[in-house]
Amino acid sequence: MATTNFSGLRTEVTNIVGNLGTACIIKYYTRTIGGGGSYYDDDVSLVLSGTSQWTSGLFASLKGKGRDGLLMDRGVLLEDDSKLILPGNFDTSGTIKIGIGSPPARHYGNVQIGPLHENYNESAVYKVLYLRYLPTGSLTGE
């Protein structure tokens, strides 16, 4: 039985994204609910946490077919939303804001629909993020 080098596959995908992709920055936030009681209707505040990460990603509009079309038909995604393909080992958990370009010309929030990544033998090769444009450049509560 032949052994497959999974890290080599991830490296190849990372090289493709790096060569063809657009520079983007991902900023990580900690979400806090205001007030001492932390009730469900309290204001939410976002505080920048950790170190922002620069990477390259393949930025594209939605196609309207396949997975994109299914999510659009269900009302999860809007026609104006976009998607970003990142290397599989890049952290995209929690509340994040993505700036596209260097310096970022536009900012996007991640549409939370669960983890979307392509695995090869339980190793994430690349991740797909669905993004919604932030017209003010800020997330609600930032």
Q: What are the tens digits of pLDDT across the range 63-101?
A: 878 888 888 998 899 989 999 998 887 888 888 999 999
Q: Give the model's pLDDT for residue 115.
A: 61
Q: Give the model's pLDDT for residue 94.
A: 85
pTM of the entire predicted model: 0.80
Every domain of the chain and the residues it spans: 25-33+43-133
Instruction: Give me the sign of the Cα torsion angle 80, 87, 53, 71.
Output: positive
Q: Classify domain 25-33+43-133 by CATH number.
A: 2.40.10
Q: Give the model's pLDDT for residue 103.
A: 93
Run of H or E residues at 23? strand 22-33
Q: Give the model's pLDDT for residue 1.
A: 37
d(CA 22, CA 38): 39
Q: Give the model's pLDDT for residue 116.
A: 72
Decide: 45 and 141 in contact? Cβ < 8 Å: yes
pLDDT averages per 10-residue partition of the chain, 142 residues: 60 82 92 67 79 92 85 90 88 90 93 73 81 89 77
Decide: 71 and 130 in contact? Cβ < 8 Å: yes
